[in-house]
């Protein structure tokens, strides 16, 4: 199995990226953009462990460019679309579209429990001061809270799980994950917003354990940035990443969805499968 099809989670020190596997993540490479399908074990930002320890670092090595502009970014364990601009003009155009909310963002998520119908969460987010996990966000009103709006649409509701299309209108830290937890449908495999936030601290310290496997079911949060559509004044640019194999395997083994059913759901997105 190719390395990009596996989840190489090893606590705070992730394995180095190999250039051969990096090339397999490339969805578009032209004079302006490098569009990548990031696996769920890669950090976006450069780290102290050298260029091949992060997506941006590996992209610099691949392109030979000293400066790349990160247009879109993802949490380490979230897979899917990441856009890197190769020049300031392209970066500014895409970043302005994001700032002006002229971008449609489409994620796929595996969620705990069965979501009966589509729901929109419009709840402000701020840092959870009561949590031992410093980065954790919570739904609350405070001086520092920010508006957050997320649309959840169930696509398949089977065997105690939901495959959902998720469209965030805002881009707050951990927005989808925090809103999913508030709904009572945490993202499968989420170490912070799942069954026990202490799993995150244990994972950073000691890496993946069998106990986590029994409780979390997946070694990373089952959240995938599938599609980004940028609306410019005279045209639009749409990018799409394929459904990741670890999430597809979960749908087949835990939810009993065959490949054809999944393909139809992901192509149409206008019907819900229940069993």
The Cα 252–Cα 255 span in angstroms is 6
The Cα 8–Cα 16 span in angstroms is 10
Say whether both 118 and 6 belong to one domain.
no
Say whether both 93 and 130 belong to one domain.
no
Say whether both 215 and 123 belong to one domain.
yes
pLDDT value of residue 163: 98
Query: 3-state DSSP call for residue 33?
Result: strand
Locate 119 and state its tokens: 């729901």
Contact (Cβ atoms closer than 8 angstroms) between residue 52 and residue 39: no
Say whether both 88 and 113 belong to one domain.
no
Give the pTM: 0.92
Among 82, 242, 253, 73, which Cα is nearest to 161's?
A: 253
Q: Which residues have C-beta within 8 Å of that of residue 192, sequence separation ≥ 6? A: 133, 135, 136, 174, 177, 199, 200
Say whether both 222 and 88 belong to one domain.
no
Say whether both 96 and 133 belong to one domain.
no
Q: Which residues have C-beta within 8 Å of that of residue 249, sequence separation ≥ 6? A: none
pLDDT value of residue 271: 57
Report the percentage of the chain scoring pLDDT > 90. 83
Split at pLDDT 50, 70, 90, the class of 10 is: low
Say whether both 93 and 137 belong to one domain.
no
Mean pLDDT of the chain: 92
Q: CATH number of the domain that 76 lies in?
A: 3.30.2350.10
Which of 100, 115, 149 is where one domain is finished?
100
Say whether both 264 and 231 belong to one domain.
yes
Expressed in angstroms, the distance from the first to the final Cα of the chain is 31
Say whether both 84 and 165 belong to one domain.
no
Q: Which residues are catalytic?
A: 75
Q: 193-249, pLDDT tens digit by residue?
A: 999 999 999 999 988 899 999 999 999 999 999 999 999 988 999 999 999 999 999
Mean pLDDT of 151-173: 96
Split at pLDDT 50, 70, 90, the class of 73 is: confident
Say which residue, 15 or 191, is predicted with more confidence. Answer: 191
Say whether both 111 and 202 belong to one domain.
yes
Say whether both 85 and 61 belong to one domain.
yes
Rg of the chain over Cα atoms, rounded to whole angstroms, equals 18
> Domain limits at 13?
1-100
Which of 100, 131, 165 is where one domain is finished?
100
Which of 100, 130, 151 is where one domain is finished?
100
Split at pLDDT 50, 70, 90, the class of 275 is: low
Could you give the number of structural domains in the chain?
A: 2
Say whether both 109 and 245 belong to one domain.
yes
């Amino acid at each position: 199995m190719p390395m990009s099809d596996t989840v190489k989670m090893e606590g705070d020190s992730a394995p180095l990226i190999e250039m051969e596997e990096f090339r397999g993540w490339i969805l578009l490479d032209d004079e302006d953009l490098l569009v990548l399908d990031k696996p769920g074990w890669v950090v976006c930002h450069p780290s102290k462990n050298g260029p091949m320890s992060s997506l941006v670092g590996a992209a610099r090595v691949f392109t030979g460019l000293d400066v790349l502009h990160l247009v879109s970014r993802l949490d380490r364990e979230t897979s899917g679309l990441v856009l890197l601009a190769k020049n300031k003009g392209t970066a500014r155009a895409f970043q302005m579209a994001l700032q002006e909310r002229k971008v449609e963002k489409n994620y796929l998520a595996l969620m705990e429990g069965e979501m009966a119908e589509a729901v929109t969460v419009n709840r402000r987010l701020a840092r959870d001061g009561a949590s031992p996990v410093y980065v954790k966000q919570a739904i609350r009103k405070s001086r520092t809270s920010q508006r957050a709006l997320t649309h959840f649409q169930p696509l398949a509701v089977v065997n105690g799980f939901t495959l959902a299309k998720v469209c965030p209108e805002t881009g707050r830290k951990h927005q989808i994950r925090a809103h999913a937890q508030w709904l009572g449908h945490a993202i499968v495999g989420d170490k912070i917003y799942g069954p026990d936030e202490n799993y995150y601290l244990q994972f950073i310290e000691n890496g993946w354990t069998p106990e986590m496997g029994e409780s979390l079911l997946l070694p990373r949060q089952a959240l995938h940035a599938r599609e980004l559509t940028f609306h410019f004044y005279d045209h639009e640019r749409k990018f799409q990443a394929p459904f990741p194999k670890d999430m597809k395997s979960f749908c087949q083994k835990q939810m009993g969805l065959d490949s054809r059913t999944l393909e139809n759901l992901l192509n149409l997105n206008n019907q819900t499968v229940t069993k």
